[in-house]
Structure 1
Amino acid sequence: MALHKTCGPNTVIGYLGIILDSHKMEARLPIDKLQRDTEILRSFQNRQSCTKRELLQLLGHLIFASKVIIPGRSFVSHIIKLSTTVKALHHHVKLNSECREDIRMWLTFLQYWNGVGIFYDLQITTTEDIKLYTDASGTRGFGGYLQGQWFSQAWPPNIQDYVHSTDEISIAFKELYPIVVAAMIWGHGWKGLRIMFMCDNIATVAILHKGRSKSAHIMPLMRRLTMCAARNNFVVMATHVPGKLNLIADSLSRLQMARFRTLAPEADYIPCQVPHPKDILWNSEEL
């Protein structure tokens, strides 16, 4: 046994490059790795191209950091895809806009995140467990409910102006919208949870499962949700449920207040304030 590679019983140990702290119940990156990753990402900001070897080295650092910051796994797929466009390690690839967006997202992670990730619960918490329900109506509005707290709002007439895309607003976007709003309002209370969102739209479930979407108008929502999850240390999961089982949120999305009060008589009298669309939809200018 190599004694210099071992340590006695302790509440803080280094394991495979990650510091595990059983007293604070957290895992964290060493400061030197955090600073190194930031410097590497910044070096890519002003580059037009790089070799496949350099791109794979960057990818390796980000995947390693994702062992602690789990939501960050959503923002490496563009880098992976770009690395497959050439065969030899010395061949150059042009850094496209999607790849640059992932790099900017990671720089934001490392700027606002201190390298610490808590130990997540092994048990999955469903939205039913915490009485969390969200829903969207295609034409009327959206709503959410959490243990007596709630929000309900008609769709802003100019919401298309905020998506920065020519794509038509899809139902997947609309179903995802109240989930993001719920995370922004109540996410601070979900620390350490693996939350399984119940959704009646299969496309939205798939987007939440993968952590990203090919639709440009949906990615601003996913980026906001991912950042919210990273800052509050929770993990987003999703499963499909029939819409008929989501009555409380259905009444809120349809702006049916009398029906909502009948279904949830214990609900607060005053609703939670919904953030402005420009604050909900992630804008690259924030990076």
Structure 2
Amino acid sequence: MREDIKMLLFFLDQFNGTYLFNELKWVDSDDLELYTDSAGGINLGCAAIFGAHWVFFKWPSKWKNCPIMRDITFLELVPIFLAFLIWSNEFKYKRIVLHTDNKGLIPILNRKTSKSKRVMGLVRPLVLCSMLCGIYFKAIHIEGKSNIVADALSRQQMGRFRMSLPNADESPAPIPESFLQTLSKIE
């Protein structure tokens, strides 16, 4: 509860009192060309793709043999949070339907809360980012096999990734320092 209040106070401190109306229509992840995925295994990581832009984050070596690597709900939330941090200006005032192949993550994204302290460590900053940018989001389930491009990138299968998305940027988007700081606080 204390962390929620801190987040709200931070938002109120940043909020300028002006709010533009959101787009009326919900935008699907496919329409935005926004895809995310995580791959288990310490040598793998997570990926987010937005149009031709992309980012890959390799799981930290300090997570090896730790419970965090078995928390697939948390791992699937990481690239969504990363995508919002990187491309939130592109998502401003949109209503976004996120696609995830993790059924456990759907109610967390839709309710904006979780009983897991670890998951809440990402939900709070994700919600704060969405509030600051006027983004509404909800989640629906997709089959994992439908997420070909992000799956290839999260597994570092660059040939398969480039074949699936030939117009992808040559280099990945930089990972924000705020993302790394947030992850460093999570156990």
Distance 2:6 2:58 in 1: 33
1:205 has 2:109 as partner? no
Deviations, residues 12-66 of structure 1 (Å, cap 9, x unaligned): xxxxxxxxxxxxxxxxxxxxxxxxxxxxxxxxxxxxxxxxxxxxxxxxxxxxxxx
* Change in CA separation of 1:152 and 1:168 when aligned onto 2, cut-off 3 Å: closer
Distance 2:28 2:56 in 1: 22
Determine the structure 1 residue equivalent to 2:38: 136
The partner residue of 1:123 within 15, 20, 25 is 25
- 1:180 Cα deviation after fit: 0.3
Q: List runs of 5+ in structure 2 lacking aligned partners.
A: none
Distance 1:168 1:133 in 2: 22
Determine the structure 2 residue equivalent to 1:246: 147
Deviations, residues 164-194 of structure 1 (Å, cap 9, x unaligned): xx96441000000000000000011111101
- 1:115 Cα deviation after fit: 2.4
Map residues 95-174 of structure 1 onto 2, 5 A cutoff.
98=1, 100-139=2-41, 140-159=44-63, 168-169=68-69, 170-174=71-75
Contact 2:4–2:124 (CA under 8 A) maintained in structure 1: no
Contact 1:144–1:182 (CA under 8 A) maintained in structure 2: yes
* Change in CA separation of 1:168 and 1:266 when aligned onto 2, cut-off 3 Å: closer
Determine the structure 2 residue equivalent to 1:177: 78
Percent identity (aligned): 37
Q: Which residue type is aligned with residue 255 of structure 1?
A: Q
Distance 1:142 1:150 in 2: 11
Distance 1:278 1:131 in 2: 25
Q: How many correspondences in the alignment?
A: 181
Looking at CA atoms only, which structure, 1 or 2, has the larger radius of gyration?
Answer: 1
1:227 has 2:133 as partner? no
- 1:157 Cα deviation after fit: 1.3
Q: List runs of 5+ in structure 1 lacking aligned partners.
A: 1-97, 161-165
SS in 2 for 1:266: coil
TM-score (norm 1): 0.60
TM-score (norm 2): 0.90
Flag the structure with more relative contact order, 1 or 2, with Cα contacts below 8 A and sequence separation at least 6: 2
Contact 2:46–2:59 (CA under 8 A) maintained in structure 1: yes
**Runs of 4+ in structure 1 over 3 Å off:** 166-169, 280-283
